[in-house]
Each structure stands twice: as structure tokens, then as C-alpha cells.
Amino acid sequence: MNLDNVKCFISLAECLNFTKAAEKEHMTQTSMSRKISGLEEELGVRLFYRDNHQVILTDAGSEFYVQAQKLLDVYESTVRLVQNVEQGYARSLKIGVGIYEDELLDTFLGQYVMAHPDVRITCLQYSYRELLKRFEQGLLDIIVTSDQFLSGYPVENVDMELIYDKPWKIILNREHPLAERTAVTSEDLKNEIMITMYEGSVSQIADHFRTAFKFRDIIHVNSYNTKLMMVNANLGFGLVPAFVRLVRYEKIKMKEFAPPYISRCFYALCHKENQNGHVREFFEDYVKYAQEERD
């Protein structure tokens, strides 16, 4: 399969306009049309409905768009691997982390790199849903993730090891009245505003946390840093794993929650079929390190 044709297909699928897609790929509209027709002929399916007014993906085209992106990712990863070997990097690992997990990994990673200077390591951070998606597609060798989307995940094909399962903490601005408490209780929080990345309506989020605590209202944010920024500005309280560091935010205090509450646990995952000895070595050494730290 001609990868140039695949790249043209992806551009057209995203633009749904031959003129714009052709400009993006630096070619004429006629050349773009010829490449798309050639790809459809090769696949034996129609990828687009097109007339003088619009271009629309067919069902087959929508599916091929997903698979084509994976195909290009694998191709680009293969090219990088071959180039790395040529440049002397015979060993390469691609590791993925979620929102918080870089802080679970960074100390071990530094130690590992010092002991294995010939290993080329790439670390990528994604939302948990995207992290699992890329891991399932084989684009990541190892991931460290919360259990948010592991329910129902086909774990029979992966090695999955518990990394962290300790109670979470409440974070507050140091000027908040509750910041002087030894521990914060559910009763303390019932009239407070919660800063959260948890997606959903107020009622859905309240249902999720109701066994642990109540709150008056929520402010939804889309990143960990914006959650810390909002708490630092004294706009509400947050909930974080105890292992996170708050060095940048001098106004935030981390408090115990009573009774202890575990919002999420964290796991390391590696594909069972991945027989790369260096991937297995990293995974096993990291699991051992994390378990020793947990104990």
C-alpha cells in the first residue's frame, strides 16, 4: 500500500475538501483525486461520497481513517527505531503516563537511565482514555495509569501490576479555614466547592463521591495544573494522590482526609506478547521498585 496515498486520504478525511487537502499535501487537486481513486481501487471499497458540492466519508472510509492513523503511527515508529539502531541506539522503550503518574515514575526513571545509558526512552503523557487507546494499539510499550478506565479492559492480554493504592489527600489554600485542621472530614466539606477534572454533571459527580463526602458545588477543569491553580487561588478544594508534589504552589496545603479515602489506584501495564527483553526488564524492575516503595 502506497503510504503517500494513505497520507492524502487522511488529509482529505480531515478537510473534506479536495482543494484544501491538495494544498496541505502540496499537490494539485487532480493529483489528490487520482491518489484517492487509486486507494479506493486498491482496497475495493468506496471511501468518500463526493459530488460538486460536498465530500463525505462513507462508513468504510470512517473505519479506514482510524486504521490509517494507526498504520502511519506504526510506520513512523518503525522508521524511528531503525534510525535509532543505525545511530547506535539498539534498545528503545516508549512509556506512557496519565495525569499524575509522571511523579510515580520520575525517580525510578532517573536511576534506570543512569544504569542503562544506551537505552533510548521516550515518555508521553495523555488523558487516561487516550493513554489506554494508544497502549491497546501497540503504540506504547508500557503505561502507568489510574484504574479509571480499567474496568472492562481486556486485561487477559496484558501484565498488570499494582503500583500505588494509598489514601488520597485534600488540598486547600493555606488561608482557607479548613487548612488549620489536622484532618478534613466529610462534614467539613459539605458547604465547599470542589475543583475536579472528573467529567459529568454535578449530580453525577456527587453520586460518584457520595460514599466518601459531600460538597456544595463543583468547578470543572480540564487539567491537573489548572486544578492546582484554582485551589491556589482559593476558589475551592481538590482531591489528589498523596504522592504528588506541590512545589510550584506555595499557597496550597495538603491535608489528611478522615476517614481515609482511596479515589483511584494506579497500575503498570505491559503487553504479554511483547517479547522485547528490554521492555520486560524495565517493566519488572519498575514493578519491583514501586512495590518496595509502597511497602
Q: What is the mean pLDDT of the chain?
A: 89
Residue 287: predicted pLDDT:
95
Residue 80: predicted pLDDT:
67
Q: Which residue has the cell 522485547?
A: 276
Beta bridge partners of 217: 193
Which is higher by pLDDT, 72 or 255?
Answer: 255
**Nearby residues of 227 by Cβ (< 8 Å), 6 or more positions away:** 195, 196, 197, 221, 238, 240
Query: Which residue ranges make up each domain of the chain?
Result: 3-72, 89-165+265-294, 168-258
Beta bridge partners of 169: 240
Element (H or E) spanning 83, and its range? helix 59-86
Cell numbers found for residue 146: 489510574
Whether the predicted pLDDT of 87 surpasses 70: no
Residue 118: predicted pLDDT:
80
**How buried is residue 222: exposed, middle or buried, by Cβ count under 10 Å (0-12/13-18/19+)?**
exposed
Cell numbers found for residue 164: 500505588
Per-residue confidence at 86, pLDDT binned at 50, 70, 90?
Answer: low
**What span, in angstroms and rounded, lies between the C-alpha atoms of 145 and 131?**
8
Element (H or E) spanning 268, and its range? strand 266-271
89-165+265-294 and 168-258 share one CATH topology?
yes
Cell numbers found for residue 35: 491518489
Which of the residue ranges 17-21, 99-103, 194-198, 272-276 would you say has the lowest mean pLDDT? 272-276
Per-residue confidence at 78, pLDDT binned at 50, 70, 90?
Answer: confident
Residue 71: predicted pLDDT:
86
Q: Rounded to the nearest 5°, which phi and psi values hold at 94? A: -120, 115
**How buried is residue 41: exposed, middle or buried, by Cβ count under 10 Å (0-12/13-18/19+)?**
exposed
**Nearby residues of 32 by Cβ (< 8 Å), 6 or more positions away:** 8, 12, 18, 21, 22, 25
CATH T-level topology, domain 168-258: D-Maltodextrin-Binding Protein; domain 2 (3.40.190)
Using a pLDDT cut of 90, give the percent of the chain over it.
Answer: 60
Which of the residue ranges 70-79, 101-110, 146-155 would you say has the lowest mean pLDDT? 70-79
Residue 261: predicted pLDDT:
92
**What span, in angstroms and rounded, lies between the C-alpha atoms of 158 and 147?**
14
For 101, which DSSP code? T
Whether the predicted pLDDT of 117 surpasses 70: yes
What is the DSSP code string of 191-237?
TSEEEE---S-HHHHHHHHTTT---SEEEE-SSHHHHHHHHHTTS-B
Per-residue confidence at 45, pLDDT binned at 50, 70, 90?
Answer: very high
Q: Is 152 left (phi over 0), alpha (psi -120 to 50) or beta?
A: left
Average pLDDT over residues 181-210: 85
**Nearby residues of 290 by Cβ (< 8 Å), 6 or more positions away:** 104, 108, 161, 163, 164, 268
CATH T-level topology, domain 89-165+265-294: D-Maltodextrin-Binding Protein; domain 2 (3.40.190)
Which is higher by pLDDT, 125 or 199?
Answer: 125
CATH of 3-72, one of 2.60.40.3880, 1.10.10.10, 3.40.50.720, 3.10.450.50: 1.10.10.10
What is the identity of the amino acid at 141? D
Per-residue confidence at 276, pLDDT binned at 50, 70, 90?
Answer: confident
For residue range 227-247, list pLDDT tens digits in order.
999 999 999 999 999 999 888
Whether the predicted pLDDT of 85 surpasses 60: no
Distances (CA, A) of 55 to 4, 31, 32, 138, 217: 20, 16, 13, 32, 45
Highest mean pLDDT among 111-120, 160-169, 272-281: 160-169
Residue 248: predicted pLDDT:
85
Average pLDDT over residues 161-184: 95
Per-residue confidence at 91, pLDDT binned at 50, 70, 90?
Answer: low
